[in-house]
Amino acid sequence: MARFIFASAVYLLIGLIVILPVVLVFVMAFSHGLATALATFADPDALSAIRLTVIMTVLTVAINTVFGVMAAWTLSRFRFPGRGALIVLIELPLSVSPVVGGLVWLLVFGTQGWWGAALERWGYPVMFAPPGILLATVFVTFPYVTRTLMPVMIHNGREGEDAAVLLGAGLWQILWHVTLPGARLALLSGVLLTTARAMGEFGAVSVVSGHIPGLTETIPLHIETLYNGYQTVAAFTMAGLLAIMAMLVVTARTLIERRAGARGLIA
Amino acid sequence: MVTKTRLTRRGLLQATLAGGAALALRPTRAWAATGLLNVSYDPTRELYQDIDRSFSRFWAEGHGGAPVQIRTSHGGSGAQARSVLEGAPADIVTLGLAYDIDILAQNGLLATNWQTRLPHNSTPFTSTIVFLVRKGNPKNIHDWPDLIRDGVQVITPNPKTSGGARWNYLAAWGWALNQPGGSADSARAYLKKLFTHVPVLDTGARGATNSFVQRGLGDVLLAWEDEALLATREIGPDQFDIVVPPVTILAEPPVAVVDRNAQAHGTTEIAQAYVQYLFSDAGQKIGAKHYFRPVTPAILAENRDRFPAVHTFDIASLGGWTKVQKEHFADGGIFDSIYTK
């Protein structure tokens, strides 16, 4: 009986907090019919926002996957002074407000900051341009790959790697043939988590973007601009698109984790 | 321990830089080919959408049909000025108040005498601050004292980030100051009371309008006249009434070419043409259509039904923006002292 009550409560909460808002997004998007909703994508600014979001997400995932793997490997295999501090630092973006993440880059690369004026003179503006958006997105999604990989790498232990060393394998061979295959599913899960977070990031990107329609607006920023411009249907259609993209990623992640769980690969 | 940490962070920085650099080339090139960027304040979205289209046609006719792409970004006036100061590549700024452009001039982005370079103090359209209330004015709000009655909730954005909010605040301040027996102390007491009636502080005027119009917060919105007219005529017809208080402020949102950016982008000529276009009859008519008061008397007269005569005082009567900004909105100024209870 208790189990039944708890389960109902959980379903009710999830229904109210998670499912209802998503349903409402689609209701609003299609409130004036399918044609009106689809007309959103005829706007070049909307297409630009979608393109920018995809490019930023792909680059962010690439960068954070490389660094996440390196960090997780280093932290799980070696004991060195400052290891604890390093783990805390890597997880810092999880606890710092994304707005702060954006402001920090502004301090470094803004024209009032350390390097901004010089970079601008050379014709490489970082802030209020895609490179700044990339920096901000990389910052907020930095911990995910490391965090999903590290426990699995620790769980897998280093016997396999030690054996590979004895057989004469080099560093890259060990990484490619021993370490990563053992943590493949965890890696994929971390990558997908990074993807979902990178697509949806608003706060940090908002600070460094300048909100220039057609140039530096990602999907979440474009949604805000549309909403503030009283283009409600277009705003919710873009929100619906973002929701679909996120749901695809989360579904992929769940399927992968289920496989991993079945094989006992995730501790 | 410290060195390890620092090494890793530097590594991160270098790598992200390398990634970013690969991408940096593309937007820069695209920019030079097409761009004119107007960094504007919040309630001008519809206005500049129209102006941009119209100017683009006008420019193409006079210059062999060469297309020109004008982009406009919007936000709270102070926040937008901050972005330009930090490097947002604005060729033109059209902000909510002169002080926000003064800041840019002080930092060398444009000449300090910018306000004398165009007619009417570089202000193509004026506006004023009015009250937007629910249909039928159920709380019976007609004048500034009504705002601090029990049970009245007032929506106004944050004067730290929003130009419109500073005009709202100063309209209230100027009214209180000019009451019989009014003084800086009585005005401060009035504003302190007023802000206890403000449930949310949005960062920009459009956010505040959304709070009032779409989210249904508050009984009265202190708003730009243009924003209030837009809300009553286009967003929610028959949902709102405009109340013009007996005395209010003359709001003068100015425009300027950002010399340094325009020179760097090679857009000085077209940027100047753009700001001059705002003062042309065509530009003035578009302004009136979007509820901004034209400065050209003939076009204002044509639109008298839309813009009733109001009794206003201007910013100069309060000592000008530099003085007002320092006294009221700087850190530790009067706004801080009344808002942090």
In a shared domain, residues B181 and B268: no
- Please give the structure tokens belonging to residue B127: 């506006």
* Position B187 pLDDT exceeds 60: yes
Tens of pLDDT, residue by residue over A250-261, are 888 888 778 767
Contact B164, B42 (CB under 8 A): yes
Average pLDDT over every residue of B149-171: 93
Q: Which of B279, B296, B327 is the last residue of a domain?
A: B279
In a shared domain, residues B168 and B109: no
In what order do the strands lie in the sheet containing B92-94? Answer: B69-74, B35-40, B92-94, B255-257
Q: Integer distance in angstroms from the first to the last C-alpha of chain A?
A: 31
B293 part of a folded domain? no
Give the pLDDT of residue A118: 77
The candidate with the shortest Cα–Cα distance to B7, out of A77, A131, A85, A153, is A85
SS3 at position B18: helix
SS3 at position B40: strand
Give residue B214's pLDDT band: very low, low, confident or very high (50, 70, 90).
confident
Does A49 reach chain B within 8 Å, measured CB to CB? Answer: no
Does A58 reach chain B within 8 Å, measured CB to CB? Answer: no
The alpha-carbon gap from B71 to the nearest alpha carbon of chain A, in Å, equals 7
Interface of A with B in 91-150 (CB under 8 A): 106, 109-113, 116, 120, 123-132, 134-135, 138, 142
Cα separation, B278 vs B253, in Å, equals 12
The candidate with the shortest Cα–Cα distance to B130, out of B292, B305, B247, B214, is B247
SS3 at position B333: coil
Tens of pLDDT, residue by residue over B233-252, are 888 788 999 999 999 999 99
Exposure of A194 in the CB half-sphere (CA atoms within 13 A): 31
Tens of pLDDT, residue by residue over B267-318, are 999 999 999 999 999 999 999 999 999 999 999 999 999 998 999 999 999 9
- CA dihedral (B282, B283, B289, B290) in degrees, to 10, reads 160
In a shared domain, residues B204 and B273: no
The candidate with the shortest Cα–Cα distance to B16, out of A111, A93, A215, A77, is A93
In a shared domain, residues B135 and B247: yes
Query: Cβ atoms within 10 A of the Cβ of A12, count?
Result: 10
Contact B45 A82 (CB under 8 A): no
Contact B4, A86 (CB under 8 A): yes
SS3 at position B180: coil
B287 part of a folded domain? no
Contact A215 B71 (CB under 8 A): yes
Contact B71 A212 (CB under 8 A): yes
Does B33 reach chain A within 8 Å, measured CB to CB? Answer: no
Give the largest Cα separation in chain A, rounded: 70
- Share the mean pLDDT of chain B: 88
Cα separation, A246 vs A195, in Å, equals 8
A213 vs B73, B85, B87: nearest CB? B73
* Position B103 pLDDT exceeds 80: yes
Q: What is the CATH number of the domain that holds B135?
A: 3.40.190.10
Does B29 reach chain A within 8 Å, measured CB to CB? Answer: no
Query: For the purposes of burial, counting CB atoms within 10 Å of the CB of A132, is it exposed (0-12), middle (13-18) or buried (19 or more)?
Result: buried
Give the pLDDT of residue B31: 42
Contact A230 B235 (CB under 8 A): yes
- Chosen from B86, B261, B265 to mutate, greatest number of chain A CBs within 10 A: B86
B300 part of a folded domain? no
In a shared domain, residues B81 and B105: yes
Give residue B16's pLDDT band: very low, low, confident or very high (50, 70, 90).
very low
Does B71 reach chain A within 8 Å, measured CB to CB? Answer: yes
Chain A hits for B75, Cβ within 8 Å: 211
Tens of pLDDT, residue by residue over A216-234, are 999 999 999 998 888 889 9
Chain B hits for A215, Cβ within 8 Å: 27, 30-31, 35, 71
Does A89 reach chain B within 8 Å, measured CB to CB? Answer: yes
Chain A hits for B83, Cβ within 8 Å: 128, 210
In a shared domain, residues B47 and B185: no
Give the pLDDT of residue B20: 47
Ramachandran class of B31: left when φ > 0, alpha when ψ lies in -120 to 50, beta otherwise? alpha
Chain B hits for A109, Cβ within 8 Å: 87
The top-scoring range by mean pLDDT among A69-83, B116-130, B199-213 is: B116-130
Chain A hits for B39, Cβ within 8 Å: 210
Contact A63 B206 (CB under 8 A): no
Tens of pLDDT, residue by residue over A159-213, are 888 899 899 888 888 888 888 888 888 899 899 999 999 999 999 999 999 899 9
Measured in degrees and rounded to the nearest 5, phi and psi for residue B224 equal: -55, 140
Tens of pLDDT, residue by residue over A70-118, are 999 999 988 889 999 999 999 999 888 999 988 988 888 888 877 777 7
Give the pLDDT of residue A230: 83
B28 vs A123, A212, A213: nearest CB? A123
Contact A225 B74 (CB under 8 A): yes
In a shared domain, residues B78 and B134: no
Give the pLDDT of residue A263: 65
Cα separation, B122 vs B114, in Å, equals 8
Query: Cβ atoms within 10 A of the Cβ of B234, count?
Result: 12
Q: Print the domain residue range for B232.
A: 126-251+311-339
How is chain A split into domains, by residue range? 1-30, 35-263
| Residue A95 CA from chain centroid, whole number | 15
Amino acid making up residue A51: R
Contact B121, B102 (CB under 8 A): no
The top-scoring range by mean pLDDT among A123-132, B6-15, B278-287 is: B278-287
Report the complex ipTM.
0.80
Q: Beta strands of B166-303 (E only): which ranges?
A: 220-224, 240-243, 248-251, 255-257, 293-294
Cα separation, A237 vs A29, in Å, equals 5
B291 part of a folded domain? no
Interface of A with B in 148-207 (CB under 8 A): none
Overall number of domains in chain B: 2
Strand partners, B250: B128
Give the pLDDT of residue B117: 95
* Position A267 pLDDT exceeds 50: no
In a shared domain, residues B171 and B60: no
The alpha-carbon gap from A206 to the nearest alpha carbon of chain B, in Å, equals 11
Interface of B with A in 246-265 (CB under 8 A): none
* Position B73 pLDDT exceeds 50: yes
Cα separation, B191 vs B181, in Å, equals 16
Average pLDDT over every residue of B186-208: 92
Contact B97, B77 (CB under 8 A): yes
Give residue B96's pLDDT band: very low, low, confident or very high (50, 70, 90).
very high
Give residue B323's pLDDT band: very low, low, confident or very high (50, 70, 90).
very high
Contact A110 B86 (CB under 8 A): yes
Give the pLDDT of residue B321: 92
Cα separation, B23 vs B33, in Å, equals 17
SS3 at position B314: coil
In a shared domain, residues B88 and B185: no
* Position A125 pLDDT exceeds 90: no
Exposure of B206 in the CB half-sphere (CA atoms within 13 A): 21
b/e map of A186-212 (b: 16 or more CB within 10 Å)? bbbbbbbbbbbbbbbbbbbbbbbbbbb
Does B164 reach chain A within 8 Å, measured CB to CB? Answer: no
Strand partners, B155: B221
Cα separation, B50 vs B25, in Å, equals 31
- Please give the structure tokens belonging to residue A136: 């901000």
- Chosen from A54, A56, A215, A223 to mutate, greatest number of chain B CBs within 10 A: A215
Architecture of domain A35-263: Orthogonal Bundle (1.10)
- Torsion sign over Cα A26, A29, A32, A33: negative
Average pLDDT over every residue of B98-105: 94
In a shared domain, residues B89 and B103: yes
In a shared domain, residues B110 and B18: yes
A134 vs B23, B74, B206: nearest CB? B23
* Position B6 pLDDT exceeds 70: no
Give the pLDDT of residue A252: 86
Contact A127 B28 (CB under 8 A): no
